[in-house]
Amino acid sequence: MPAVTLAGRAHITVAGGDAEDFLQGLITCDVVSLPEGEARTAALLTPQGKILFDFLVSRVPSGGFLIETAEEQREALVKRLAIYKLRAAVEISPLAETHTTITWGSEGEGVVDGRFLKAGQRVLRRPGAGGSDEPAAYDALRIAHGIVESGKDFALSDVFPHDILLDLSGGVSFRKGCFVGQEVVSRMQHRGTARRRPVILRAAAALPAPGAELTAEGKPVGTLGTVVGQDGLAIVRIDRVADAMRAGAPVLAGDVEVEAWLPEWTGLDFPGESAEAPAQ
């Protein structure tokens, strides 16, 4: 059973009699339907619909919710939540723990990561250290399923929820009613205007370092994110990648040719294409 400990993780509890209603009217996912034992991906958006903070939220058995996010987001996220608190009966408390242990492949301790559950993989998360495997093993798992994360694959305030598949991974509810940025996100959903999506990449040689530009037919299509050897992730303009595919033109990460495909679990295709994942 692989077990990886990630450093630089933050944990915040949101408790009190109004905790559920508070989060329900603020963040992108539906917390009312969130079952115990599952960590659901979510975000707090700007009024313009871009992701200000991304995180996982789960129920605490004793009551309230636990938010897991990157450590560098903790202070700003606590302050932002406090701004919206007003007179609600809510207590927002950052915890001292800065590690998360992730296991997969068999039974273990923790809550199920809903992002991977959508992709057909059972991954468990729990606060604290305890993993013996290298973090690259978790990066490889994310690559295999097309799961992107801020800091490694995209910058906050630069993407919409659709750009990172929150619309398909349970991270956005289009039925629960208003939340910050909801109008813009709903408009994108109804108009089908999302043109940036995460793709899985594979090359015949080692990929360049994260941050390398992806190009197709001389046009920029995205930026390379997480890399493990010859495999990687990127958020790309899928319309431009589709144009290159139709023209038989290569997609390049730096000067390395790559194959690109959309994660199978999403059911997405490149526009105008019925793209299939390269053989694994």
Strands 111-113 and 38-45, sheet pairing: parallel
Q: Within 10 Å of residue 257's Cβ, how many Cβ atoms?
A: 12
Residues of the chain with CATH 2.40.30: 195-266
Residue 275 confidence (pLDDT) above 60: no
Q: Rg for the chain (alpha carbons), in Å?
A: 19
The answer as to CATH 2.40.160 being correct for domain 195-266 is: no
Look up the CATH number of domain 3-188: 3.30.1360.120
CA neighbours within 13 Å on the CB side: how many for 55? 29
Q: Is the pTM of this model over 0.85?
A: yes
pLDDT in tens, 75-116: 999 999 999 998 999 999 999 999 999 999 877 899 999 999
In the chain, pLDDT over 90 holds for what percent of residues? 89
Residues of the chain with CATH 3.30.1360.120: 3-188
pLDDT in tens, 158-206: 999 999 999 999 999 999 989 999 999 999 999 987 899 999 999 999 9
**In the block, residue with structure tokens 């940025």:** 181
pLDDT in tens, 18-37: 999 999 999 999 999 999 99
